[in-house]
Amino acid sequence: MKKIKVLIIDDSALVRQTLCDILNSDPAIEVIGSAADPILAAERMRTVIPDVITLDVEMPRMDGLTFLQKLMSQHPIPVVMCSSLAESGSETALKALEYGAVDIITKPKMGTKQFIEESKTRICEAVKGAAAARLGPLRAMRTMKEVSPKYTADVIMEKPNSKAMILTTEKVVVVGASTGGTEALRVFLEMLPEDTPGIVIVQHMPENFTAAFAKRLNSICRVTVKEAQDNDTVVRGRALIAPGNHHVLLKRSGARYYVEIKDGPLVSRHRPSVDVLFRSAARYAGKNAVGVIMTGMGDDGAHGMKEMFDAGAVTIAQDEASCVVYGMPHEAVKMGGVNKVMSLLNIAPEVLRLCS
């Protein structure tokens, strides 16, 4: 099987070496070179073209955003931004997603054995997702602003029982996304009116980036968007985004839906995990829920969506043509847990119809 060729661009020699060791530890990935800045990287790319580039945000001679814009206009290659946890770095990395980067990873650092293993998993998965990404749908989404060891969810919550949830008048919407999802979520949320039923979202994203992501969406959407906090009520006109590095569960007390923020191991290689959110929706919302699974690498969310389907919820998967990576939606369809498959632009109107 052909290996994914990766070029690392970072001004820190330690980060370059650490990323090289992490990526080369995966048999599906091969680091073909590294460079301290984009100008040196451009020279290397005259002899060999990588499948994926990991790109630092702040570098001497040319910053990451400038290089990304030049790259996407001249020779588009999937790019994974490698950022620090600083607030300024988070905002810049999110801007890079708008310019065409596929994903964000945090700069690797030393810690406990579990931390190192989890970081290795996240970084390698991000690169694999980028290698599978189709940049066409991502470029199309950027023009849509004119258009208004693998665990299962068992480690976090028991499977829902077969008893049907008693219907209430309120619907709740749960959404899961990964690679390409930041722009897909923007398109989806921008189309929703102020009185949209409450929404809970899992987007695979590192810790500290989700707050900046929510703030950005809140500034452009009619619905209120915020990073979820423990015990936040799920109410009309508000979308809650799972905080990076924490699972989010939908819970119910009487007629009130709220979220629980929870630690725990990676589920389906992720924390937060879509499977965990969807399982909780199956258990506590049942037929009151509408589930949406969007673009993303892997199968996180497929099992949870099948549980929602079995509990009577209506489930929607984004179609292949509009996905950056048709991984998570495809796995959900194959598992038989999807009622409807549709283009990204049609999902918001359908959600509103189902909740009316």
Catalytic residues: 178, 204, 300
Q: Distance from CA of residue 303 to its chain's centroid?
A: 17
Q: What is the dihedral of CA 131, 132, 137, 139, to 10 degrees?
A: 0
Rounded CA gap, 51 and 3, in Å?
Answer: 9
Cβ contacts of 169 within 8 Å, gap of 6 or more: none
Helix (H) or strand (E) holding 344: helix 344-355
Q: What is the rounded distance in angstroms from the CA atom of residue 306 to the CA atom of residue 300?
A: 12
Q: Which residues pair with 8 in a beta bridge?
A: 34, 54
How far is the C-alpha of 101 from the C-alpha of 119, rounded, in Å? Answer: 20
**Is residue 224 a contact partner of residue 233, using CB atoms and an 8 Å limit?**
no
**Distance in angstroms between the alpha carbons of the first and the last residue of the chain:** 49
Residue 213 belongs to what H/E stretch?
A: helix 209-220
Instruction: Give 3-state DSSP helix, strand, coil % of the chain, rounded to 5.
Output: 40, 20, 40
Nearest of 4, 33, 29, 2 to residue 17 by alpha carbon? 33
Distance, CA of 9 to CA of 15 (rounded, Å): 10
Contacts 24+ apart (CB under 8 A), 91-97: 91/212, 92/57, 92/58, 92/64, 92/65, 93/57, 93/209, 94/182, 94/209, 94/212, 94/213, 94/216, 95/65, 96/55, 96/57, 96/64, 96/65, 96/68, 97/182, 97/183
- What tokens appear for 87 in the block? 């607030």
Length of the chain: 356
